[in-house]
Amino acid sequence: MAPESSERCGYRLEIGLPGQDFPTEPCSRPAWEDYDRCVWHAPVDGKTAGELTAEGEPGDDLDGAYLKEASLVGVDWLAGMSLVGADLTDADVNGVDFSDADLTLATLTSVSAINADFTGANLEGAIFTNADIRRATLVDARLNEAVFTDVHIDDGTVLGQESVYDGGSVRPKLSDDPPLAAAAWTYREFQQIYKENALPGAARDNYNREKDARRRLAWSQADYAPAIKWELSRWVMNYGSSPYRVLLVSLVVIVISAVLFPLTGGIQEVQGDRAITYTVDDPQAVPTWWLGQVLLKSFYFSVITFATLGYGDIQPIGTSARMLAGIETILGSLLSALLVFVLARSVTW
């Protein structure tokens, strides 16, 4: 875009996103050397920190800054700056303080940002491709619609335990999405980063956080069908990540069924020519030894019913007991299938 005069930059940021409240005033900095743009907007690769600050303080507005291959190692004067739409392709920003800076829609392709501090920065819509953010800090950074592809991290990279959107007080800047939808996006991106960098435990944790954010979002929007689905997934298998929870739920089903069988008609065992019925009408009126024997037989019957083994040595008596046995058989089949699914999924993390 042509400058307004031969001595002033005149660069105007044009994002191309309707309805976004980005600055539209042209840059009034003096032109740099033989270029018709200021030092921040001149399309020159490899600028240094000294060149960028030779004319004094840069000011707060650096939107659209052209910083390809720039060398800014360790600078601290970019904290809190507005760098909307800035191009930092191949830049060396190791140890740079970007805390509370606005890097919305910035391009950070092949950037080296080792030890960089993005705490509280707005990185919505930013593009991190083949970026090196080892030992960088992104705590409380806004990351809705940010794209992370082939990003390199290590154990020293701090992405934070909880998305800044998760509490609901911070809303996305680039979209009208609810905060929980933005939180789910952030957790999904973190999950991908951790998987690409062989950190399965952290990837699984962020997978669970994403699903939990979607569960709470569904409840908040009164979208009951997916809300109930996520709720069941949470309690039965921790969103598909905990085989121990599936086993615990299975045990609960077996125990509850074992207690109910004697109260809903009982079960009958055939021993030779004799049939013994194990039932309890009033638990307080029967001897303790008989109650223990009934519960033991009922637990055995509940286990083989849940496992769909069907030995045939014990049968439910009465309509209610038979219905209970049918329900337990169905639940046993479903939970067994879920256990196999969760175990297989745990191998892929």
pLDDT above 60: residue 247: yes
CB neighbourhood size of 124 (10 A)? 23
**Pairing mode of beta strands 127-129, 147-149:** parallel
What domain range is 273 assigned to?
A: 243-348
312 part of a folded domain: yes
Q: Is residue 291 part of a domain?
A: yes
Residue 157 lies in a domain: no
- Is 143 part of a structural domain of the chain? no
Q: Which CATH number fits the domain that encloses residue 276?
A: 1.10.287.70
Reported confidence tier of residue 313, pLDDT bands at 50, 70, 90:
confident
DSSP assignment of 73-115: TT--TTTT-B-TT-B-TT-B-TT-B-TT-B-TT-B-TT-B-TT
| Residue 295 located in a structural domain | yes
Lowest mean pLDDT among 113-122, 155-164, 307-316: 307-316
Examine residue 57 and state whether it is found in any structural domain, yes or no.
no
* pTM for the whole structure: 0.83
Tell me what the mean pLDDT of segment 213-236 comes to: 96
* Rounded Cα gap, residues 127 and 202, in angstroms: 22
In a domain, 263, yes or no: yes
Q: Give the pLDDT confidence of 45-96 residue by residue, as tens digits.
A: 999 999 998 877 777 789 999 999 999 999 999 999 999 999 999 999 999 9
Count of structural domains, the chain: 1
333 falls within a domain? yes
Residue 4 has pLDDT above 50, yes or no: no
Q: Residue 3: its pLDDT value, please?
A: 41
Contact in structure between 206 and 190 (CB atoms under 8 Å) = yes
pLDDT band for position 24 (50/70/90)?
low
pLDDT in tens, 278-304: 888 877 777 888 888 999 999 999 999
pLDDT at site 44: 95
Specify the amino acid at residue 24. Answer: T
How high is the mean pLDDT of the chain? 90
Give the rounded distance of the alpha carbon of 164 from its chain centre.
12
Query: If pLDDT is split at 50, 70 and 90, which confidence band does 5 have?
Result: very low
